[in-house]
A and B are shown apart, each in its own frame.
Chain A
C-alpha cells in the first residue's frame, strides 16, 4: 500500500468523523425531544441527559389527550392529498401534452402562487368561510390545506408527464378510448411514482400546517395535531414529558417520508420551501 492512498484513507475517515459530529450537533434537539419523551419522571425540573430508565408512560398520556388530534390530522392530510392530486394530475397532463395556448403563463402563475403569504390567504378565506359556513369544518380545512401542495404537485407531475410519448395515448384512443379514459387508464398508471411523490409531500405539508388550522377554526371541533400541541403547551407546560411524546408522534410522518422517499426530498425541499 503506497503512502499516498493511506493518507487519503485517513483523511476520508476524518471526514466521516467530522460528518458524524455535525450530525450530532444539528440533530441534538431531535435527540432531546426523544430523550424527554422517554423519561416518565421529567416534569418541570431539569431532564436527565440519558433516559436511564426509559418508560412509555408519556406516550400513554399523549395518546389519551392528543389521540383525537392525531386522527384529525391524518384525515385532513389524506383529504388534502385527494383534492390536490385530483386537481393537479389532469392539469399537469393538460399543460404537459396539449400545447394549450397560454400554457406557459399558467405554469408561471402556478409558481408565483407559492409566494402568496399564507396569513394573507387565511385573512380573506376566513371571511369567505364565515359566509359559506365552512369555518370549523373538515371540508374547509381540507380545501385550504390542498393549496399547500397544489403548485408543487402541478410542477412536479408536469415535468414527469412531458416525457410520456404521445403515441402511447394516441394508440389507446385509436382503440376507442376517449381522451379522458386514456388519461385514467394509461397516463395515471405510468405516472405512479410521480403521483406518489407529490402525494407524500402534500400529505406532509398538510400535516405540518398550523396557519390554516389556527385561523379557520374557532372551536375544538376540528383540531389537528399542530394546533393540539400548541394549545397543549399553553395549558400543560408542567407536563413536558407528555408534550415531547406528542412532538415525537407528530414527527413520525416526517421520519417515514425520510425513509421511503429520500431521493425525492431535494425536489420537495425546493417545492415546499415557500409553503
Chain B
C-alpha cells in the first residue's frame, strides 16, 4: 500500500536485508526457529480469518435451529438455505438497499472528500490544524456517531427539523428516520459524513505527490483552473482514486453498526442491508445456516472488489514491500 510506504520511515526493499540473513543461517534448525517468530500470528490469522471463511461455507449447507445450541445437531440440508434466502423478499430488498447505500455513500464521500483535499492543498494559516480536527468524526465509534445523529434527525425534537422550521423551509418536519421513503437517504447522509475524513486524507496525500512543476507549466500555458484539474490532477491522481473507492466500497458494503444504531433496519425494512440481514437471520432468528448464505454473498461481492483492488495496487504493492 502506497500510503503505508510513505508514512513508514525509509522503507527499503526486503531483498537487501534478507540476503545476508539467509547466507548466515546454514542449518535447518535455525530456519525453523525463525518461523517461530511468525507462527503465532499465522496460527491466529488461520483461526480468526481462515476458519470463519471455511466454516461459513459449511454452515450455509447446514440446518440450524434455536435448538441446535442445546443438542449440537445441525444436519446438512443441501441447498435449502440458499433457496430460502434467495426467495426471501427481505434479501432481495437488502441487496438493492446495499447497492443504493454503497453507491450513494461513495459518491458523496468521494466528491466532498476530493473537494476538501483540493481546497486544503492551498497554503494558508491553520490549514494543517483544521485538517487534523476534521478527522474526529472518523475516530469516534460509529455507533456513537449514529446515536448522536439519531437525536439530530428526530422528527419532532431533532435539531435539524427545528432549524429547517426556523428558516421557514418546512412546515411539518421531515420524517428523516421514520418514513420508509426517506430513512435510507438519511442513513446515506450520515455515512457520507462519517466517510469524508477518510477520503480527504488519502486524496490529500495523493495530491501532495503530484509534482508542482506540472502546475507551474500549466499556469504558464494559460490553462484555466478547471482545465488544469481535468488534465493534470485527475489523471495523476487516478491510482489513489482507485484505492480510495475500493477501500471505501469494502467498508461500506458490509455496513452494520451505523444502520442498527440509526434505524435498526426499519422503518418497514427500508434500511435493511446485507450486513443487517446476516445479523438478523443468524443472531435474532438463530438460523445460522441462512445467515451464512447472506454472509457468503457478502464475501463474494467483497472478493470481486478485492481482486480489482489488488490489480490497481499491484505496482504499489511490489514497490512498497
Q: Which residues of A contact B (CB under 8 A)?
A: 12-13, 15-16, 18-20, 22-23, 26-27, 29-30, 32-33, 36, 44-47, 86-88, 90-91, 93-100, 103-104, 106-113, 115-121, 123-128, 130-131, 143-144, 146-147, 150, 154-156, 159-160, 162-163, 166, 170, 179, 183, 204, 207-208, 210-211, 214-215, 225-226, 229-230, 233, 240, 243-244, 247, 250-251, 254-255, 257-258, 262, 264-267, 269-271, 273-275
Who on chain A is nearest to B53 by CB? A116
Who on chain B is nearest to A267 by CB? B7
Query: B8, B40, B134, B260 — which one has the most chain A CB atoms within 10 A of its CB?
Result: B8
Given A117-B299, A119-B279, A123-B278, verify A162-B17 contact (CB < 8 Å): yes
Instruction: Type the 1/0 row for B98-137, where 1 means its CB is closer than 8 Å to any CB of A.
Output: 0000000000000000001001101111110010111111
B176 interface residue (CB < 8 Å to A)? no
Whether B144 and A251, one on each chain, are in contact in the complex, defined by CB atoms closer than 8 angstroms, is yes
Bound Cα distance from A27 to B257, whole angstroms = 20
Who on chain A is nearest to B126 by CB? A16
From B19-27, B79-87, B214-222, give the one contacting chain A. B19-27
22 A-B pairs, CB-CB below 8 angstroms?
A: A12-B125, A19-B130, A23-B134, A27-B133, A29-B137, A46-B159, A95-B38, A103-B14, A116-B299, A117-B299, A119-B256, A120-B278, A156-B8, A162-B11, A210-B257, A229-B147, A243-B151, A247-B144, A258-B136, A265-B135, A269-B202, A270-B4
Bound Cα distance from A210 to B202, whole angstroms = 25
Residues of A within 8 A of B130 (CB): 19-20, 22-23
**Residue in A22, A123, A255 whose beta carbon sits within 8 Å of that of B295 in the complex:** A123
Q: Which residues of B contact A (CB under 8 A)?
A: 1, 3-5, 7-12, 14-15, 17-22, 24, 33-35, 37-38, 40-42, 44-45, 48-49, 51-53, 55-56, 59, 69, 72, 116, 119-120, 122-127, 130, 132-145, 147-152, 157, 159, 162, 193, 196-198, 201-202, 205, 247-248, 250-251, 253-254, 256-257, 260-261, 275, 278-279, 282-283, 288, 291-292, 295-296, 298-299, 302-303, 306, 309, 317, 320-321
Whether B33 and A226, one on each chain, are in contact in the complex, defined by CB atoms closer than 8 angstroms, is no
Our count of residue pairs bridging A and B at CB distance below 8 angstroms stands at 313
Report, nearest first, the 6 A-B pairs whose CB atoms are least far apart: A99-B18, A159-B8, A94-B37, A91-B41, A254-B139, A124-B52
Distance to closest chain B CB from A192 (angstroms): 13
Who on chain A is nearest to B35 by CB? A100
Whether A97 and B17, one on each chain, are in contact in the complex, defined by CB atoms closer than 8 angstroms, is yes
Residues of B within 8 A of A113 (CB): 45, 49
Whether B202 and A99, one on each chain, are in contact in the complex, defined by CB atoms closer than 8 angstroms, is no
Residues of A within 8 A of B279 (CB): 119, 214-215
Residues of B within 8 A of A90 (CB): 37-38, 40-41
Whether B283 and A126, one on each chain, are in contact in the complex, defined by CB atoms closer than 8 angstroms, is yes
Residues of B within 8 A of A210 (CB): 141-143, 256-257, 260-261
**Residue in B69, B141, B253 whose beta carbon sits within 8 Å of that of A207 in the complex:** B141
Who on chain A is nearest to B131 by CB? A19
Bound Cα distance from A202 to B308, whole angstroms = 27
Residues of A within 8 A of B45 (CB): 109-110, 113, 150
Who on chain B is nearest to A120 by CB? B295
Whether B298 and A119, one on each chain, are in contact in the complex, defined by CB atoms closer than 8 angstroms, is yes
**Residue in B137, B142, B198 whose beta carbon sits within 8 Å of that of A26 in the complex:** B137
Given A104-B321, A123-B295, verify A226-B143 contact (CB < 8 Å): yes
Residues of A within 8 A of B8 (CB): 156, 159-160, 163, 267
Residues of A within 8 A of B38 (CB): 90-91, 94-95, 100, 106
Bound Cα distance from A43 to B142, whole angstroms = 24
Whether A156 and B302, one on each chain, are in contact in the complex, defined by CB atoms closer than 8 angstroms, is no
**Residue in A87, A211, A244 whose beta carbon sits within 8 Å of that of B151 in the complex:** A244
Whether A111 and B51, one on each chain, are in contact in the complex, defined by CB atoms closer than 8 angstroms, is no
Residues of B within 8 A of A19 (CB): 119-120, 124, 126-127, 130
**Residue in A36, A127, A230, A271 whose beta carbon sits within 8 Å of that of B288 in the complex:** A127
Residues of A within 8 A of B10 (CB): 163
Distance to closest chain B CB from A107 (angstroms): 6
Whether A274 and B3, one on each chain, are in contact in the complex, defined by CB atoms closer than 8 angstroms, is no
Residues of B within 8 A of A166 (CB): 17, 20-21
Distance to closest chain B CB from A119 (angstroms): 5
Whether A117 and B51, one on each chain, are in contact in the complex, defined by CB atoms closer than 8 angstroms, is no
Who on chain B is nearest to A135 by CB? B69
Residues of B within 8 A of A255 (CB): 136, 139
